[in-house]
Amino acid sequence: MQGVRSDRAVAVGVGVLVLRGGKVLLGRRRGSHGSGTWSAPGGRLEFGESIEECARRELREETSLELGPVTLGPFTNDLFAEVQEQYLTVFVVASQTVGEPVNTEPHKCEGWSWFHWSELPSPLFQPVQWLVASGYAPQDAPPNPSLHPTRYSGLRPLPRAGELKR
């Protein structure tokens, strides 16, 4: 395959779609790839960590929120050309959190705000942008009818535990 580099590993990111009152929590990134874009809390999956453990750790580190039950959500496959990195970002959906978001990492985030899924800010961080472009909307947030996919993103929702065939 042309353009494929076998000397690079693909990183796994975990994004947390925190929902409250029909809104999703987003922060404006600072000091990293995607700086200036709006993103869900999250970060890199560490070796030996489960997706849920990563979501809990990242959410606590970035916002001080404690995560309740989570649902496995969709994923995106993103190439960040400016830093020559590729991430498979797995999202979890969280409708139950404890506390109010606090910007605990101001060097990485300008601050946290709540947005209706149909009124998201711009520009969005690439993984969130692909979620929106695919037509995805969290269950308790209505889809944004003004946004349509511009190309196939490879987005596939993951089955929930009760939907797996044995």
What is the structure's pLDDT at 45? 96
Q: What is the DSSP string of 108-134?
A: TEEEEEEEEGGG--SSBPHHHHHHHHT
What is the structure's pLDDT at 33? 86
Name the band, by pLDDT with cuts 50, 70 and 90, for residue 40: very high
Of 46, 43, 50, 40, the closest CA to residue 18 belongs to 40
What is the structure's pLDDT at 143? 41
Please state the pTM of the whole predicted model.
0.81
Is pLDDT above 70 for 150? no
